[in-house]
Each structure stands twice: as C-alpha cells, then as structure tokens.
Amino acid sequence: MSGVGKIARVRCGANIALAKYWGKANGALNLPAVPSISLTLAELYTETTVEFDSRLEQDELLLDSAPVQGRARERMIQMLDRARDEARVSDRCRITTRNNFPTASGLASSASGFAALAGAVAYAAGLDHSLNTTSSWARRASASAARSVFAGFAELPTSTTDDDNLCARPIEPGRTWAEVRLIVAMVGKAPKSIGSTEAMERSRLNSPYYRAWLETAPRLCDEVREGLAARDLAQVGDAMERSTLAMHACALTASPSVRYWQPETLELIDAVQALRAESVGAWFTTDAGPHVKVLCLAADAHRVQDRLKASVPSADILVCSPGPGLTVLP
C-alpha cells in the first residue's frame, strides 16, 4: 500500500530522571536493568512532524535543520520500518524535528525526541496506538523516552521476562504536584563526549560498582515513589541525590572512566548544598552531561535560581515545571 499522505505534528516534553535508569538487562530489546522515575517538563520540548510521501526515494530525517546521521538515524529508521510493517505501508517518510534546547548534551533530547517520534510516526501511519504502546515503542529506541510520553511523574519499571511491550506508567495520573520545580542550570551547549548508551554499557561491563548499583537503584526508586505519594520533597530530593551519585560513581569507575561533570557542575552542586545549609529545600541531580538540575518548590525557585547564577555566572538558568507529555498539535 502507498499514499498514506497523513501528516502528524506532535510536541513532547523532555523528562529528567529523579531515580536514574543506568544499564540494560537486554540490549537487543533495550530493557532497563533498574526501575526509574522521572518528571516530564513543560519548558523543554521536541516538536516533530512526520509525513509519509510516495514520491520520496528514501527517508528524509532532519533534526534542527540538519540531516540526522549515525546511531540516531538507525534508531529512527528502525522505528519507521516497524510502523511500515504494522501499517503495511511502503512509502518513505519526511521527518522534521526540532528541540527548543541543546541536543545531545545531557538534557534528555533523546527522551523527548523518541517519544515524539513514536507518537507522530504511528499517527501518520494510521496506527491506533495507545499511550502504553507509544511508550513501549519509544522505550525500544531509547529507554528514558518511554517516560516522556506521560505527563508529570512517570515510572519505567524493569521486566522480569524479556517483554518487548514494557512501557512506562504515569504516577498518580490526575493528581499533579504543581508546586514542584526543576531548575535547569546549563553549563555550555556542547554535545556530550560519550553517549549514555555506550557509557552505561561500559559501566555494566567493567565497573566494579555495577553490582552495587543494581542492588541500590530499586531501593532509591522506591524512596522516590513513596516520597512523591507523601508529598515529601525532602525524601524525594534526598533519594534523588543518592541515585545520581550512585549512577555517576558507577560511570566514573568504568574503564576507561566516564566523567560527565565539569568544574562548573561541582560549583553548582556546592551552591545547592549551601542553600540546604540555610534551610532552603533544594536538591541536585545530573545526567549524561555537565548540567545540574535542582529540585525545589515554586516558592523557593527565585532564591535557588539567583544562587545558581551567582555561583556560575556563565550558566543559563531555566525554571521548569511539570509538563503535559505527548501532545498532538493542530
């Protein structure tokens, strides 16, 4: 069949993990070795347009106006082929995708990007996918993307079987914790030196602390989930910091070592700890990049923002709030 001709436009927020995913239980199916919990953000997002077109000879993939190449291109084509198979469509596809924040620098662009793609591709191919199916397609491309499909807080569990339908689930859907803020302090805009896929694989293969990580991460995820249910930001923040420190300890002790932190990262972490010493509720997390994200309540956001800026004047600071997840645009 050809000539589907439907255009889909979607927007999807990036998510930042409070309890980190790091390491795979099954590389081929991209199943995570540990459960994770994240917050989808309103202010950082990807917009993606997908159009099947019978006149195209090959798929055209543009990210921020440049052709997509390498690993990201392979993952996108795999998703497209899966949609073509399921919809019995042979047409090639034009995909235009844009991030309103720096790509591949540790700000979860693959999460919002693949979640947006999973939604838009299925819609353009005429597939009637549920959010769970969209989340599982996104997870196959990039596990953190499974969580971005959902608004607010979401959890991606692990699977005891090799379950290719594994998807994220929203935490307490309909009961939003609107006062929570995640303040993103951006340290430079350069792409990360080593991608998270390769870094977590290196950690799994040869960090002496990987086993300890596998034991610790589910407990920290429980603490985050329980803290969210109790609206106890100190519990969430404390478990979140321990999760990021354990993840980075595992990456740092891989061989060759993976170090995402820059001097500015540590300055910002110091600023957060100083705020806490002054009884301001603020907790840090960092991902596969040098940026620091700080969890706090809206009432403290200005004070936290000012302190981060004072500690690293070159950092761009953005106050982010819980966002809506995957949204179809007109």
Residues 249-288 that bind ligand DP6 (CB under 6 A): 287-288
Place of tokens 């309540």: 297
When asked if residue 307 is in the footprint of ligand DP6 (CB under 6 A), the reply is no
State the CB neighbour count (10 A cutoff) for residue 208.
10
When asked if residue 47 is in the footprint of ligand DP6 (CB under 6 A), the reply is no
Among the listed ranges 137-145, 206-214, 270-278, 301-309, the one in contact with ligand DP6 (CB under 6 A) is 137-145
When asked if residue 36 is in the footprint of ligand DP6 (CB under 6 A), the reply is yes
When asked if residue 167 is in the footprint of ligand DP6 (CB under 6 A), the reply is no
DSSP structure string for 191-247: PPSS-HHHHHHHHHHH-TTHHHHHHHHHHHHHHHHHHHHTT-HHHHHHHHHHHHHHH
* Residue 34 beta carbon to ligand DP6: minimum distance, rounded to whole angstroms: 9
Q: Are 237 and 185 in contact (CB under 8 A)?
A: no
Q: Which of 17, 39, 185, 246 is in the footprint of ligand DP6 by CB under 6 A? A: 17
Place of tokens 């607010």: 152
Q: Which of 97, 142, 203, 265 is in the footprint of ligand DP6 by CB under 6 A? A: 142
- Encoded one letter per residue, x for contact with ligand DP6 by CB under 6 A and - for no contact, window 78-117 reads --------------------------------x-------
* Residue 114 beta carbon to ligand DP6: minimum distance, rounded to whole angstroms: 8
Residues 6+ apart with CB under 8 A from 247: 20, 22, 213, 217
When asked if residue 327 is in the footprint of ligand DP6 (CB under 6 A), the reply is no
When asked if residue 216 is in the footprint of ligand DP6 (CB under 6 A), the reply is no
The site for ligand DP6, by CB under 6 A, has a size of 13
* Residue 88 beta carbon to ligand DP6: minimum distance, rounded to whole angstroms: 28
In angstroms, the Cα distances linking 220 to 204, 255, 306 are 19, 25, 30
Between 203 and 311, whose beta carbon lies closer to ligand DP6? 203
Q: How far is CA 304 from the centre of its chain?
A: 23
Classified as helix, coil or strand, 36 is strand
Q: Which of 96, 197, 253, 262 is in the footprint of ligand DP6 by CB under 6 A? A: 197
When asked if residue 21 is in the footprint of ligand DP6 (CB under 6 A), the reply is yes
Q: Are 199 and 257 in contact (CB under 8 A)?
A: no
* Residue 270 beta carbon to ligand DP6: minimum distance, rounded to whole angstroms: 21
State the CB neighbour count (10 A cutoff) for residue 217.
26
Residues 6+ apart with CB under 8 A from 136: 146, 164, 165, 166, 167
Among the listed ranges 44-52, 96-104, 140-148, 265-273, the one in contact with ligand DP6 (CB under 6 A) is 140-148
